[in-house]
Amino acid sequence: MNRALHLLADDPIFESRDDKLNRWGFARQIVEVIQRLPAKESSTVLALIGPWGSGKSSLLGLVTRSLETYHSDEWKVVAFNPWEVSSLDGLMIGFFEAISSAIPDDFQTKTAGETLQSYASKLLSLGGAFKVPSAILANAMGFLDPGKLAETLGKLLDSKASTQKLKKRLEVALADLPQRILVVIDDLDRLMPDELLMVFKLIRLLGRLPGIHYLLAYDEQTLLSVLKESQLARGSPDRALAYLEKIVQVRLDLPTVHRVQAEEMIQSCVEDLLSGLRKPITDQEKARLQALLKSDLLMRLNEPRSIKRFFAQVAAYLPLVVHRVDLPDFVALSYVRTFYPLLYRELHRRKQELLTNKGPTDSMGRQLQWPVIATSAGVPESEATTIVKLIAAVFPAGSFSSSGGDLLGGTTERRAADTHYFERYFYFGVPPGDVSEDEIEKVFSTLGRAGTEAERARLEGWLRESFELVLPKLKALEPGLDALQRAHLLIVLARRYRAAHESGEDLLQRTDFRDLSLHLLVVLSEGATELVSLALTDSMEIRFLFRLMRLRVLLPASDRQGGRELLLRIAHRVPEILAAMTNQELPKVQWCIAMAATWAEVEGRKRVHDWMVAELERAESSWRVEDLLGCCVVGVKPVSGGYQVGEFFTLDTMTLEAVVPRAWLLEKLKDRIQNATETVLQDTHRQVPFAALISYGLWRLHESINDVKEEVARLAGAPDERGDAG
C-alpha cells in the first residue's frame, strides 16, 4: 500500500509537468496580467479567488515558478503566509521581513533599506498605529546593529521628518531597485478577524509603495464571513464586501474543476490504491466501485483537496481491512467518515435500524427520519438527501424513505449490511470474537502437509463455535482453493453435518451450507477422491454424501457428473447402513429410500432391487412393501399426528422403481391395486394419516395399469399401414 501513501500529501505544485488540471494556461495568463502592471508608479493588489481545496496554492506555485524562471530580471517574488505566525506582533514583523528580503543585499546598507526601516518604525512605533520595538524590527529586517540603527533613525526620524517625507524618500530609494517586488500572500481565509484586518491594514498603510505589488489568495465566501465578524463590518455582509473591494483592485477567479478532470483525478487515485493490494479485487467489486465513484452521491469529490483528503483516508485504513470487507461499501462509508464524522458515529450507534426495516427513533422513542438524523449530525441541509441515498445503497434493508437503488447490489459477500461484517467497517479490522480470513487461509495453506488432522480440527472448531461467521468466509475463499484443499473442506463440512445431526439439526436444510457442500462434491477431483473416502467412514457422514448426490438435480445438467467416483468407493457401506434401520418402521426412516435410490444410480438397479426385495420379504424386517408405496408420495409434509397435503402432490414412481422392480411390486400388491379407489387425498391442504398416502399410492398404480390397458387396446384396434384392421 506504500504507493498510495503519496495521497496523504497536500503540497502545492510548482512544475507544469505536475499539473493534472490543465491550470498551466491560466497561470501563464496571470503572469501576463502581472507583467502589464505599472512599472514603478504605483502598487496593485490582485486576488486569486477560489473555494477551499480548489488548487489556489498550486496555481500560486506555478505563477511564482514562471516569474522566477522567465522574468527574474523584472520581478522579485517573496512569499508571506500570515497563518504561519502566532501573534499580531509576529504578523507585522513577518510582513516587513518579507518585503525587506526582496531588497538586494547591496541595497541593504543604502538608502532603500534604511528608509524602509525608518518608514516602518515611524508608522509602527511613533505613528501610533502599531507598537513594535525598533530593535525587534531591525533584527527582523536584517539590520543586526541596533546602535547603528538608532543613529540612523535619529537622523531620519527627527521631529521635522514627517511620515509623508519618509514615504517620499522611500519611493525615491525604491525607484533605484532593479526589479519590481511581488508579495504573494496565501491562506488569508484561515485567519481570525483581528489578524485579517491587521494584514489589510499593513497593506493599506505600509505596503502600498510604488513597485511593490501583492497577489492574495483566498476563498471569498469564507473571507467575507470572517470580515463580517470583525468590528469593522459589525455583522454586515455589505460592509464586509465593500471593505474587501477597497483592498483588491484585480480579481482573478480560479476556473472551476471540470467533472471530467475530477473523474480523471479520482481514477488516478483508485489505480494507485488498487495497484498496491497484495491480491487483486474481483471484477465485480471493480465494477461496483466504479459505479459508486461515477454516481452523483459523492458530491464533495469535486475539488483537488477534497479528492486527495478522501483518498488519503481510504489509503490510511485500507490495509487494515482489505479483502476482509466489501471494498465499495468501505469506500462509501469512508466518504461518510471523512466529510461527516458525527454522522458516521451515529451510523454505528444505529446498527439495528440500518440492518432491519425498524425505523429510527430518538431517546424518547419518537420516530425520526434519516434526513433529520443527518442534519442533526452536522450534514448541511442541501446535502442531507444525497448522503441518505448513499447510506441506503450500503444498507438496502434499512428503513429509508429514499432508496439508494441497486448501485451497490450484485453481491452479498462481506457487505456492511451483513450483521457478521458490520463491526469491521467501524473497528477497522477483525473485531474480538470474529475469525479473520487470514487465519482461515493460513489453515488451508498448511492442509496436505504434516498436521492435517489438527488443521481440520481448527476449521471444525470455528464452524462449531462461530458457524454464522465462518461459513460465508469459507464460501468466499472456496474459488481460490486447490483440489486437495477443497477435499479437506468437504471432509470438514461432512463432520460438521454429523455433529449437527446428533444435536437434532439438519444443516442441509440451510441453503448456504447445502450449496457449498454440493459444489465441493461435484468438483471433487479424481486425485482427491481417495482422501475423502478414507476420512469419512461414519455412517452419518456417508449418508451426508449420498444426500448430496441426490441433491444434484438442483444443479444445471452440465454440473451433475462429479462425485460419482467417490460414491462408488463408499457404496459398499450402504447395505450395512440400511440394514441397521430395518428394525424400525419405514415411515420413520424415510431417508433410507432416498439413499437406496441414489445407491441404484451409482451401482445400478439390480444390486439394489435384489437387496430391497430380500429385505421386504424377510419376516424379521419391520419394512413393509405398502409402507414403501406410501413413503414415495411426494408433496406432503410430516406434521404432528399425520401428514399435511400440499398443493402439488404425486407418486414418485421414478424413486419407487429405482429401489424395487415394478413387476414385483405390482404382483405383491395385486389385489389391493385392483380394488383401489380414489381417496380423500385429492383434497389439498388437509391433514391425513399415513394410511391415506398408501391408499393414494395404490390408486395411482391402479390408474397407471388402466392407462396401459387402454393404450394396448387402442393399439390393438388401430389399422395397420395397409388400412386393414389389426
Q: Determine the Cα–Cα distance for residues 600 and 606; give it in Å rounded to an integer.
A: 8
What does the pLDDT look like over 76-123, one tens digit per residue?
999 998 988 878 888 888 888 888 888 776 654 455 666 666 666 666
Q: Residue 19: its pLDDT value, please? A: 66
Q: Which residues contact 4 (CB under 8 A, 6 or more apart)?
A: 269, 272, 273, 276, 311, 315, 318
pLDDT at 281 over 90: no
Q: Residue 680: its pLDDT value, please? A: 60
Q: Which residues contact 192 (CB under 8 A, 6 or more apart)?
A: 226
pLDDT at 369 over 80: yes
- All three cell numbers of 45: 493588489
pLDDT band for position 625 (cuts 50, 70, 90): very high
The DSSP element (H or E) to which 181 belongs, if any, is: strand 180-185
Q: Which residues contact 720 (CB under 8 A, 6 or more apart)?
A: 726
Q: Residue 686: its pLDDT value, please? A: 79
pLDDT at 409 over 70: yes
Q: Residue 508: its pLDDT value, please? A: 94
Burial code (b: 16+ CB inside 10 Å, e: under 16) for 460-489 equals bebbeeeeebbbbbbebbbeebeebbbbbb
Q: Residue 585: its pLDDT value, please? A: 95
Query: CB count, 10 Å around CB of 241?
Result: 15
- What would the mean pLDDT of 711-722 be, rounded to a whole number? 62
What does the pLDDT look like over 257-279, one tens digit per residue?
888 888 988 998 999 889 888 88
What does the pLDDT look like over 211-233, one tens digit per residue?
889 999 999 999 999 999 988 88
Between 450 and 342, the higher pLDDT residue: 342
Query: CB count, 10 Å around CB of 234?
Result: 10
- What would the mean pLDDT of 432-448 be, rounded to a whole number? 86
- Among 163-172, 372-381, 616-625, 717-726, where is mean pLDDT lowest? 717-726
Q: Residue 684: its pLDDT value, please? A: 60
Between 130 and 517, the higher pLDDT residue: 517
pLDDT at 519 over 60: yes
pLDDT band for position 16 (cuts 50, 70, 90): low
pLDDT band for position 344 (cuts 50, 70, 90): very high
What does the pLDDT look like over 462-474, one tens digit per residue?
999 989 889 988 9
Between 642 and 542, the higher pLDDT residue: 542
Rg of the chain (C-alpha set): 43
pLDDT band for position 450 (cuts 50, 70, 90): low
pLDDT at 458 over 80: yes
pLDDT at 398 over 90: no
Q: Residue 324: its pLDDT value, please? A: 86
Cα of first residue to Cα of last residue in the chain, in angstroms, is 86
What does the pLDDT look like over 558-607, one tens digit per residue?
777 788 899 999 999 999 999 999 999 999 999 999 999 999 999 999 99
What does the pLDDT look like over 489-511, one tens digit per residue?
999 999 999 999 999 999 999 99
Q: Residue 98: its pLDDT value, please? A: 85
Q: Determine the Cα–Cα distance for residues 567 and 44; give it in Å rounded to an integer.
A: 91
Between 707 and 26, the higher pLDDT residue: 26
The helix/strand count (H/E) of the chain reads as 36, 8
Q: Mean pLDDT score of the chain, rounded to an integer?
A: 84
Percent of the chain with pLDDT strictly greater than 90: 49
What does the pLDDT look like over 657-700, one tens digit per residue?
999 999 999 999 999 998 888 766 666 667 889 999 999 999 99
- What would the mean pLDDT of 365-386 be, rounded to a whole number? 92
